[in-house]
Amino acid sequence: MHDDMPNHTSFAWRDKKWFVDTPENKQFPAAINLPEPFNRQESGLKHAISLTGEDGMFGASSGGKANADALYLLPYLNKGITVKDMHEVRNISHDDNGYQVNVRDIQNKRDYSIAAPKVVLAAGTMNTVKILCDSQDNKTLNLMPGLGKGFGTNGDCMATWKPSGGQYNSSLGTPVHGKLVVDGQADEVTILSAGIETPPMPAWLPNMLKNKVQDTGGNFQLVAMAPDDANGVVKFENGRLKLDYSIKENPVFEKVFSALDKITTQTGGKVKFDRKTAMTAHPLGGARIADSDREGVVDGKGEVYNNPGLFITDGSVLPRATGAPPTLSIAAWSSYVASKIIEKIDPQLINKPENKMITAIVTYKPDPSKTMEDVNNAFKNSIPLFSSVRGLKKKIYCFDEEAFQGTSVYLWESKEAAEACYGSTTFQEAFKKSFGAVPEITFIPALQIVEND
- Binding residues for ligand FAD, per CB under 6 A? 88-89, 122-125, 127, 131, 176, 281-282, 314-315, 325-327, 330
End-to-end CA distance of the chain: 38
Shortest CA distance to 313 belongs to which of 289, 345, 290?
289
Expressed in percent and rounded to 5, the helix, strand and coil fractions of the chain are: 25, 25, 50
Residue 322 or 408: the one with the smaller Cβ distance to ligand FAD is: 322
> Please, what is the minimum distance in Å from the beta carbon of residue 72 to ligand FAD?
11
- Given the complex with ligand FAD, which of 11 and 333 has the nearer CB atom? 333
Cis peptide bond upstream of 37, omega within 30:
yes
Q: Indicate the residue among 102 and 307 with the shorter CB distance to ligand FAD.
A: 102
CB of 388 to ligand FAD, least distance (A): 18
| Min separation Cβ 6 and ligand FAD, Å | 18
Minimum distance from CB of 200 to ligand FAD (Å)? Answer: 18
Q: Which is nearer to ligand FAD, 292 or 327 (CB)?
A: 327
What is the layout of strands, in order, in the sheet containing 358-364? 392-400, 405-412, 358-364, 440-445
Q: Helices (H), strands (E): how many in the chain?
A: 10, 17
- Contact 176/238 with Cβ under 8 angstroms? no
SS3 220: strand
192, 223 Cβ separation under 8 angstroms: yes
Asked if residue 167 lies in contact with residue 326, where contact means CB atoms within 8 angstroms, the answer is no
CB of 88 to ligand FAD, least distance (A): 4
- Of 307 and 322, CB closest to ligand FAD: 322
Cβ-based nearer residue to ligand FAD, 186 or 281: 281
Q: How far is the CB of 169 from ligand FAD (least distance, A)?
A: 20
Please tell me the distance from the alpha carbon of residue 431 to that of residue 433, in angstroms, as a whole number: 5
Q: What is the largest CA-CA distance in the chain?
A: 81
Work out the angle between the directed axes of helices 425-435 and 372-387 (0-180°, nearest 10). 160
> Which of 227/406 has CB closer to ligand FAD?
227
Consecutive H or E run containing 343: helix 327-345
Nearer to ligand FAD among residue 34 and residue 123 (C-beta): 123
Which residues does residue 411 pair with via DSSP β-bridges, in sequence order? 359, 394
- Report the nearest approach of ligand FAD to the CB of residue 434 (Å): 33
Distance set, CA 314 to CA 89, 115, 284, 331 (Å):
15, 22, 9, 8
Q: Considering the complex, state which of residue 124 and residue 145 has its C-beta at the smaller distance from ligand FAD.
A: 124
Give the helix ranges, DSSP H, for 44-184: 68, 74-77, 125-137
CA distances from 186 to 18, 225, 243, 250, 254 (A): 16, 11, 28, 15, 10
Report the nearest approach of ligand FAD to the CB of residue 334 (Å).
7
- Cβ-contact 221, 158 below 8 angstroms: yes
Please, are residues 50 and 33 in contact by the beta-carbon 8 Å criterion?
Answer: no
Q: Are 413 and 356 in contact (CB under 8 A)?
A: yes
Minimum distance, C-beta of residue 70 to ligand FAD, in the bound complex (Å) = 13
In the complex, the smallest distance separating the C-beta of residue 125 from ligand FAD, rounded to whole angstroms, is: 6
Cβ proximity to ligand FAD, 43 vs 322, nearer residue? 322
Query: In this complex, which beta carbon is closest to ligand FAD, that of residue 157 or of residue 446?
Result: 157
Closer residue to ligand FAD, CB minimum distance, 390 or 393: 390
Instruction: Report, in Å, the least distance between residue 416 CB and ligand FAD.
Output: 23
Q: What is the DSSP letter of 182?
A: -
Least gap, CB of 19 to ligand FAD (angstroms)? 19
